[in-house]
Structure 1
Amino acid sequence: MVTEVRENTALERFELLSDGTPAGYIEYQDTGAERALVHTEIFPRFQGRGLANTLVEAALDTSRKAGFEVLPMCSMVQHFITENPRYIALVPQQSRAMFGLPQ
């Protein structure tokens, strides 16, 4: 299985392809220096393969490279950051408690 994540700035989302077929997306909203990741969706036939983690990681890495701090509004993104503490620094310190993340 070959996966690819593309940023679609026109729709404000990251799109996941699995073997060239759309498999899911993360919607985001940019406000100044912050990017709110608001909803993650993996299409039913692709669920259970760990693709959500691939998608979230790519969205976080791309957001970091673009200079954004991240607001993990989506529970999947919150869970991923909790499980992968190297991404906690992307969340503004004053916002971490709101998302149940360590200071």
Structure 2
Amino acid sequence: MSAETTAHVEHEPDLSRYTLWQDGEPVGLADYRVVGQEMQFTHTEVNPAKRDHGLASILVEQALDDVRTRTNLTVVAACPFVAEWINTHAEYQDLLSRGR
């Protein structure tokens, strides 16, 4: 079974984060803060024992999909991983400039 079929992301607005779950356990997170009309992704991490399986990409993709469908906020990729992920996924680059 692939990581993609067993992993899912939950938005936890009270904690200002998206949490990645796999097999009923949290294995990663993407922290953010909302400042004005911006959602600033500040930190992303995946449990070291679970790295190299594409989980961080699943986390970022699902978090950005949620931002796109649920808000009109502009994404600020303060986290280097999020910045690099968006840089290599052209279909998400519009999130960096919308609302401006």
Q: Same fold (TM over 0.5)?
A: yes
Measured on the aligned residues, the alpha-carbon RMSD in Å equals 1.5
Structure 1 runs of 4+ with >3 Å offset: none
Gaps in structure 1 of 5+ consecutive residues: 96-103
Q: TM-score when scaled to structure 2?
A: 0.88
Residue 86 of structure 2 corresponds to which residue in structure 1? 81
From 37, 41, 44, the equivalent of 2:45 is: 41
Residue 10 of structure 2 corresponds to which residue in structure 1? 6
In the alignment, residue 80 of structure 1 is paired with which amino acid? Answer: W
Partners of 2:68 and 2:55 lie apart in 1 by: 20
Partners of 1:38 and 1:17 lie apart in 2 by: 19
1:10 match: secondary structure = helix
Gaps in structure 2 of 5+ consecutive residues: none
In the alignment, residue 67 of structure 1 is paired with which amino acid? Answer: N
Q: TM-score when scaled to structure 1?
A: 0.86
